[in-house]
Amino acid sequence: MARIPEAEVERLKAEVSLQRLVEAKGVKLARQGKDWLGRCPFHDDKTPSLVVSPGKNLWHCLGACATGGTVIDWVMRAEGVSFRGATGYRPGAIKPAVHQAGGNRRSDPLA
């Protein structure tokens, strides 16, 4: 299998809005200074422990998950896919695959 070019990975991290991906997963976010807070969908979260930092385009769970990362890490965790699956890698076109409500799949989370 061909290696995913680093430039393509960096382009994806820069162009895909993590905040929009998180909200597309049904997480309600509330502004807290420069960041957004919400309940982490990866564990039974009673109080908001998920921090999304739009300026850095990164996320972090301060609760039971104690994990975080980039848009690629979010898609890997949220969709249960590999790195290659999260990038949707095809030479010349990489986009994460996310599920919409109703189980439909779309390749562009920003559409």
Tell me: the pLDDT tens digits for 8-25?
A: 899 999 999 999 999 999
Residue 42 has pLDDT above 90, yes or no: yes
Domains of the chain (ranges, CATH numbers): 6-106 (3.90.580.10)
Share of the chain above pLDDT 90, in %: 66
Phi (first) and psi of residue 8, to 5 degrees = -70, -40
Average pLDDT over residues 16-42: 96
**Overall pTM > 0.85:** no
What whole-number distance in Å separates Cα of residue 109 and Cα of residue 9? 16
Question: Which one has a higher pLDDT value, 13 or 110?
Answer: 13
Sign of the torsion formed by the C-alpha atoms of 85, 86, 87 and 93 = positive
Whether the per-residue pLDDT at 106 is higher than 50: the answer is no
Cβ-based burial of 7 (10 A; exposed 0-12, middle 13-18, buried ≥19): exposed
| Beta bridge partners of residue 68, listed in sequence order | 60
Mean pLDDT, the chain, whole residue set: 83
3-state class (DSSP) for residue 27 = coil
Q: For 44-57, what is each residue's pLDDT tens digit? A: 999 999 999 999 99
Residue in the block written with tokens 């680093």:
6
Give me the sign of the Cα torsion angle 24, 30, 31, 34. Answer: negative
